[in-house]
Amino acid sequence: MSKDMMPMFELFQPTDLSGALDLVERYGADGWKVAGGQDSLDWLKDRAKRTKAVIDLTRIAEMKGIRETADGLEIGALTTLTEIEESSLIREKFALLAGAASRVASPQIRNVGTIGGNVSQDARCWYYRGGMDCYRAGGSTCYADTPQGMNREHCLFGADRCVAVSPSDTAPALVALDASMVIQNADGERVVAAEDFFIGPQVDIERMTVLQADDILTAIRIPNTWANATFYFEKVADRKTWDFALVNIAAAMRVSGGTIEDIRIVAGGVECVPRRLSVVENVVKGSAKNADTAKLAGGSASRGAIPLNYNQFKIPLLENLVMRAIRDA
């Protein structure tokens, strides 16, 4: 397969959301929306996917910036990860998201990569990325889920033909913060909870989010519910930079008098969607924030896990991350 140049396509650079919506409605599945473009350009350069039109959204000013609202914050989908990492407003109220953004890839990528692109990126499974005819690509096989398959980075939960995981570092933080995703198309606007924005293979094996071809993710809203809470984010990867998480953990909790009154805790890298650890939440609510509670929480985190041939190590890794989140937040 020749990979020296991208296939031909027509490039559009709308300067307002109305123009972009007209284009995505016109081209539908034949239109490719680009924000930072780093994931998109990999697909096109490798010729693993093709498109008739590329719709560059980066000139749309209304999709950029961080705005304080009466109910919390609204972050434009084209806001860069560096801007989120460095925002004093986010660091003051929602440090969990700033911490997650700071662990994405490298500074160079964060300078270009956007929050919308980070939560919308496709699966990183090398079989799928390599252009093989797996289930996610419309075929009839999962090459990772075989005795010989390379599945060290794949899922512990929620497998349904495909065993790829959500690659986003910011997604678990947004779910933990009870964020909402603002989506627009030619028919208008709809708002979807972050927890429902990500979908597994049992819903649609060829998509990782609810976004359809004519949809544009325009903004992310974070309510004040968890503002200034006690936060914890940790990512474990093979390399500190330029790598995707083996497992990451995001927790937001309300602690009063040493007791955990409320908590949302979410893991990435273990399922096709950010995994809300509701069992852990139920275990620790109303309990003292101490080492004993943390140990119980860690042990409950892997309940229901079904490891693959080469990713059994993710079970103790997940348990330890949850234990540290409860103990050290």
* pLDDT over threshold 60, residue 1: no
Backbone phi and psi for residue 84, each to the nearest 5 degrees, phi listed first? -70, -45
Q: Which residues contact 85 (CB under 8 A, 6 or more apart)?
A: 98, 101, 102, 110
Q: Which residues of 209-224 are buried (b: 16+ CB within 10 A; e: fewer)?
A: bbbeebbbbbbbbbee
Q: Using one digit for the tens of pLDDT, what is the confidence trace for 277-311?
A: 999 999 999 999 999 999 999 999 999 999 999 99
Q: Which domains does the chain have, with CATH numbers?
A: 1-60 (3.30.43.10), 64-120+165-328 (3.30.465.10)
| C-alpha 20 chain-centroid distance | 23
CB distance 200 to 272 below 8 Å? yes
For residue 24, give both structure tokens: 């995505």
Q: Secondary structure of 73-122 in the HEC alphabet? A: EEEECCCEHHHHHHCHHHHHHCHHHHHHHHCCCCHHHHHHCEHHHHHHCC
Question: In which region does residue 228 sit, left (phi positive, over 0), alpha (psi from -120 to 50) or beta (all else)?
Answer: left
In this prediction, residue 41 carries a pLDDT of 82
Which DSSP string corresponds to 250-306?
EEEEEEETTEEEEEEEEEESSSSS-EE-HHHHHHHTTSBSSHHHHHHHHHHHTTT--
Query: For 237-277, what is each residue's pLDDT tens digit?
Result: 999 888 999 999 999 999 999 999 999 999 999 999 999 99
pLDDT value at position 2? 52
Q: What is the pTM of this model?
A: 0.97
pLDDT, mean of residues 109-130: 95
Q: Count of CB atoms within 10 A of residue 10's CB?
A: 12
What torsion do the CA atoms of 287, 291, 292, 297 make, to the nearest 10 degrees? 70
Chain mean pLDDT for the chain: 96
CB 96 within 8 A of CB 63: no
Residues 37-78: tens digit of each pLDDT: 988 888 888 878 889 999 999 999 999 999 999 999 999 999
Token pair belonging to 313? 């190590």
Q: C-alpha angle with apex 39: 317 to 95, nearest 5 degrees?
A: 50
Tokens, residue 111:
């300078």
Amino acid (1-letter code) at residue 195: E
| pLDDT, tens digit, 9 for 90 and up, residues 170-227 | 999 999 999 999 999 999 999 999 999 999 999 999 999 999 999 999 999 999 999 9
Bin 84: left if φ > 0, else alpha if -120 < ψ < 50, else beta. Answer: alpha
Average pLDDT over residues 312-329: 98
Give the pLDDT confidence score for residue 49 in this predicted structure. Answer: 86
User: Are 49 and 43 spatial neighbours (Cβ–Cβ below 8 Å)?
Assistant: yes
Quote the DSSP letter at residue 226. Answer: G
pLDDT at residue number 55:
97
Using alpha carbons only, what angle is made at residue 316 by residues 312 and 318, rounded to the nearest 5 degrees? 100
pLDDT value for 77? 98
Residue 93 has pLDDT above 60, yes or no: yes
